[in-house]
Amino acid sequence: MLALSDEARNVVLDALANEEMSSSLALWVEVTGTMGTGYTYDLYFSDLADAPEGAAVGRDGEITIVVPRASVDRLRGSRLEFATDGGGGLVLVNPNHPTSEELNPGVPAEILAMGIESELARLAIAVLDNDVNPSIASHGGRADLVAMDDAQRIAYIKMSGGCQGCSMSRMTLSQGIETALRAAIPELSDVRDITDHASGVNPFYADAH
């Protein structure tokens, strides 16, 4: 289900040793949502006796690991490692990726069905990855291509992180994302934001950008 590298195991054991009643605790690992094109996670210690029905429970060395049922398939084959770059920290390396439906809840199926496999879509993804996302990453933001209507030349974009729910997101789309996409792909007829901004961490927070 989930393994730990030697370095990660030592970090977890050190943290566990500082917990009260450590002998009854397990490391809980679960998927909490999505961000960009991947999952987000929560790792914490909690009582092994509280493991819910259907949870996967296993051991890695001296550490008991609990993965709630809803996260089992999403975490299968994952590995918890310790990254030394960027100040160091635990990193979950997951071979599984969210489905289009998981990444884009509420987006009509007919839009998702357009896909992002066409040449036009690949060009748009390259622009977002190389030009747009590095510039809005300083605000904790990200923009991803959800679908490309090749017939109508329409790009459907979703924002996440600091751009989701930000009152300046419309300006970011029109003056940043759309400008970059149209400059690189002149044949685009429209760029549409299908982000659920109301569910952002700070919906319509004026100082997010």
Examine residue 204 and state whether it is found in any structural domain, yes or no: no
* Cα–Cα distance for residue pair 43/28, rounded to 1 Å: 6
Count of domains forming the chain = 2
59: Cα separation from own chain's centroid: 27
* Residue 209 included in any domain: no
Residue 42 lies in a domain: yes
Q: What value does the mean pLDDT take over residues 137-154? A: 87
Element containing residue 30 per DSSP (H, E): strand 25-35
Share of the chain above pLDDT 70, in %: 85
Q: Are residues 71 and 9 in the same domain?
A: yes
Residue 206 has pLDDT above 70, yes or no: no
What distance, in Å, lies between the first and last C-alpha atoms of the chain? 39
Per cent of the chain over pLDDT 90 is 56
Contacts of 82 (CB under 8 A, 6+ apart): 5, 7, 8, 10, 11, 88, 89, 90, 91
In a domain, 178, yes or no: yes
* Residue 141 maps to a domain: yes
Q: Residue 91's pLDDT band (boundaries 50, 70, 90)? A: very high
Question: What is the sign, positive or negative, of the torsion defined by CA atoms of 125, 129, 131, 137?
Answer: positive
pTM above threshold 0.85 = no
| Same domain for 111 and 175 | yes
Q: Is the distance from CB of 26 to CB of 48 less than 8 angstroms?
A: yes
Residue 204 contacts residue 195 (beta carbons within 8 Å):
no
69 SS3 class: helix
Q: What is the dihedral of CA 115, 37, 128, 111, to 10 degrees?
A: 30
| Residue 171 scores a pLDDT above 60 | no
Tell me, what CATH number does 39's domain have?
2.60.300.12
For residue 152, what are its two tokens? 């109508």
- Residue 32, domain extent: 2-97
Are 39 and 118 members of one domain?
no
Co-location of 73 and 27 in the same domain: yes
DSSP, res 9 = H
> Is residue 196 over pLDDT 90?
no
Q: Is residue 207 part of a domain?
A: no
Q: How confident is the model at residue 208 (pLDDT cuts 50, 70, 90)?
A: very low
